[in-house]
Chains A and B, each alone.
Chain A
Amino acid sequence: MQFLRLTIPLLLTAVAGLIPIIAFMWSTETRWIHATKDRLEVYMVIIAAFALLLGVVNVIQSNVKKIERRQKGWQYGAFLLAGLISMGAVGILSAARIGPFQGIGFLDDGTRTPFQYMAEYIFNPLQAAMFALLAFFMASAAFRAFRARNFEATILLVAAGIVMIGRIPLGETLLGGSPLLGEFTEWLMTWPNGAAQRGIMIGAALGAASLSLRVIVGIERSFLGIERNE
C-alpha cells in the first residue's frame, strides 16, 4: 500500500521533474531527451482533460445535492445546472452536426451557429461584465491605499499621482507641452519601481526553485495529500 500510495508517485514526480531540467541543459542534438520532454507535456494535457471530467461530475453532484436538500442559495445551483446542460447539449449536438446544430463556428453563408450565438451573446458579455467590474474595484482599492496616513503612504500617494498624471496627455498640457513629467514617470517606473520588482522576482524565483527541489527529492509531499514524512 505504502509502495502504491507513496513510492510510485514520488518516483514519477522525481522523473517528471528532472526531465525538463536535463532537457534544458542538454544539447538539441540529443533528441531523445527533448522528445521525452515534449511527450511529458502531451501526457499532462491528456491527464488534465480526464481530470476536467471529474470536475464536471463534481459540479453536477454537489449542485444536485444542494437542490435536493433545498440548501441556502439552491436557486443558483439550479441556474448553474441549466446553463451547464444547455451549453453542453448544444455543443455536443453541434459537434455531431444534428438538425439545426451544424458545427460550432459560422455557417458557409456567414451566419452564426446556435453554439456560436450562445458563446458570443451570452457567455462573452457575462465575462466582459465581470472584467469590467475591475475598474470600480480598482478605484475603491486606490482610495484606501492612497490615504496619507504615514510617511510611506504619503510617498506612495505622491508617486502614484505623478505616474497617473504623467501617463495621460493632461500632464504634458499642464506643463505647457513639456515632456518632463512623462520622462519623470518613466524614470520612476523603470528605476525605483523596477528595482523593487526585481528584488521580489529574484526572491520568488529562488523560492520556486527551492520548492521544486523539495518536490523532486520528495521532502514536499502536500500535493499528494501527504503532509508529514511517512
Chain B
Amino acid sequence: MDAILNLQRINALVLVFLFCTLVLSYISIARRGGSLYVRRISGLNAIDEAVGRATELGKKVLYVPGIMGLDENQTIASLALLGHVARTTAQYNTDLDVPNKDPLTFAAARETVKEAYMEAGRPDLYREEMVHYVTYDQFAYTASVSGQMVREKPATNFLIGSFYAESLLLAETGQATGAIQIAGTAEIAQLPFFVCACDYTLIGEELYAAGAYLSKEPAQLGSIKGQDITKAIVGIYIVVATIGLAFGSELLRRLLTIE
C-alpha cells in the first residue's frame, strides 16, 4: 500500500472523496428535479442592467478576462461569465470588446463569444475584432486597456478573473471614466482594490459560482450546493479541531496537517 499511496496525504484523499461524493450527489439530486436554493448574488444580477446602460448610451461593453492562462481556475470561471455577457450584448445589439493578455485565453474567449452570438440568434453581429490579443506583458497590457478606457469610454467594464498589480490601475481608470464596473477575483490581495473602485465585486467563491448561477442548469447549481455543504463540514471541523488543539490533541493536529 505504501508503495502506491502516499499515506501521509491520506487525510487529503478522504477530504477529496467526501467533497466529490457530496458534489456529485447534489448534482444527481438537482438532475432528478430536486429544488435547490441559491442565494442572490447582486453583482451577477446587475449584469443585465450594466449592459442595458451601455445600450442606452450607445457605448461599448469592455470585458477583461484577467491576465492568467487557462490553467488558472479563475480564468475558466471568467469565460463562463463572458459567455453570458456576450449573449446579453448580442440580444441588446451592443458592442463588446475583449482584450486578452494570455494567448490560450484569447483563443478560448474568441470561441466563447462566437458561440454566444450564435446561441443568441445574432451571428450577424459577431466580429472577429471583438476578441483581440494585446500582449503577454502585464504592464503593457494594462497600459493598452487603460488607454482604451480613457479614449473610448466604455459604459460598462467587467474585470473578471485573475488579477495582480494591474487590478487597481484598471479599476481606478474605469472609475475615472464614469463606467459602471463589475469586478470579480479570488486574489485576496486585489479584492480591497476592486471593492474600493468598482460598483459590484464578486468575492472569491462567488466568482467560481457565477457560471453555474447564471446558467441555471440543475447540474451546475447542484455542485454549488455540494460545495456549500462541504464548507459547513470544514467549518465545523475547524471549530472542533481548534478546541481539540487547545487541549493538546495530537490526533486532530495530525488530521489537519497535509505533508
Interface residues of A (CB under 8 A from B): 21, 24-30, 44, 47-48, 51-56, 58-59, 62, 65, 72-73, 76, 126-127, 130-131, 133-134, 137-138, 140-142, 144-145, 197, 200-204, 206-215, 217, 219-220, 222-229
> What are 17 of the A-B contact pairs (CB < 8 Å)?
A26-B5, A27-B2, A27-B4, A27-B6, A30-B3, A30-B4, A56-B133, A59-B134, A200-B188, A203-B231, A207-B186, A208-B186, A210-B227, A222-B76, A223-B70, A225-B110, A228-B217
Asked if B119 is an interface residue, CB under 8 A from chain A, the answer is yes
Chain B residue at minimal CB-CB distance from A133 = B169
Q: Are A215 and B115 in contact (CB under 8 A)?
A: no
Task: Tell me the bound Cα distance from A200 to B226 in angstroms.
Answer: 18
Give Cα A141–Cα B191 distance, bound, in whole angstroms: 13
Q: Are B147 and A200 in contact (CB under 8 A)?
A: no
8 residue pairs, one from A and one from B, having the closest CB atoms: A225-B111, A207-B208, A207-B205, A204-B204, A51-B103, A55-B103, A55-B133, A203-B205
Of B49-57, B77-85, B88-96, B246-254, the one touching chain A: B77-85
Is A141 a contact partner of B168 (Cβ separation < 8 A)?
yes
Contact A220 B220, beta carbon cutoff 8 Å? yes
Measured CB to CB, the nearest residue on chain B to A59 is B133
Residue ID in chain B nearest A50 by CB atoms:
B103
Pair B220/A206 contact, Cβ less than 8 Å: no
Determine whether the beta carbon of B147 is less than 8 Å from that of A204: no
Task: Please determine whether A28 and B6 come into contact, CB atoms closer than 8 angstroms.
Answer: yes
Contact A206 B234 (CB under 8 A): yes
Instruction: Judge whether B3 and A200 touch: CB under 8 Å.
Output: no
Q: Which of B184-225 contact A (CB under 8 A)?
A: 186, 188, 191-193, 195-197, 203-209, 211-212, 215, 217, 219-220, 223-224
List chain A residues, Cβ under 8 A from B231: 202-203, 206
Taking CB atoms and an 8 Å cut-off, the chain B residues in 174-191 that contact chain A are 186, 188, 191
Q: How large is the interface on B (under 10, 10 to 19, 20 to 34, 35 or more residues)?
A: 35 or more
Known: A48-B103, A208-B73. A223 touches B223 (CB 8 A): no
Q: Which of chain B's residues have a CB closer than 8 A to the CB of A133?
A: 169
Output the least CB separation between B115 and chain A (Å).
5
Query: Is B129's beta carbon under 8 Å from chain A?
Result: yes
CB within 8 Å for A227 and B115 given contacts A48-B104, A58-B132, A137-B169: yes
* Cα of A204 to Cα of B207 in the assembled complex, Å: 8
Contact of A144 among B5, B16, B196, B217 (CB under 8 A): B196
- B108: Cβ under 8 A from any A Cβ: yes
B17 to chain A, nearest CB (A): 10
In the assembly, what is the distance between CA of A27 and CA of B7, in Å? 8
Contact at B79–A223, with CB atoms within 8 Å?
yes
**Is there contact, CB below 8 Å, between B119 and A227?**
yes
| Besides A51-B107, A203-B204, 6 new A-B residue pairs in contact (Cβ under 8 A), listed by A number | A25-B12, A28-B6, A210-B224, A213-B24, A219-B27, A228-B217
Near A by CB (< 8 A), chain B positions 103-160 give: 103-104, 106-108, 110-112, 114-116, 119, 129, 132-137, 139-140, 142-143, 147, 151-152
What CA separation (Å) do A222 and B192 show in the bound complex?
28
Whether A214 pairs with B3 at a CB distance below 8 angstroms is: no
Complex interface: chain A residues within 8 A of B66 (CB): none
Contact in complex: B219, A224 (CB < 8 Å): no
- Shortest distance in angstroms between B205's beta carbon and chain A's nearest beta carbon? 3
Report yes or no: A25 in contact with B9, Cβ–Cβ below 8 A. Answer: yes
Contact call A229/B205, Cβ cutoff below 8 A: no
Tell me if B69 is interfacial: C-beta within 8 Å of chain A: yes
Cα(A150)–Cα(B186), bound, Å: 26
Contact A211 B137 (CB under 8 A): no
Chain A hits for B23, CB < 8 A? 210, 213
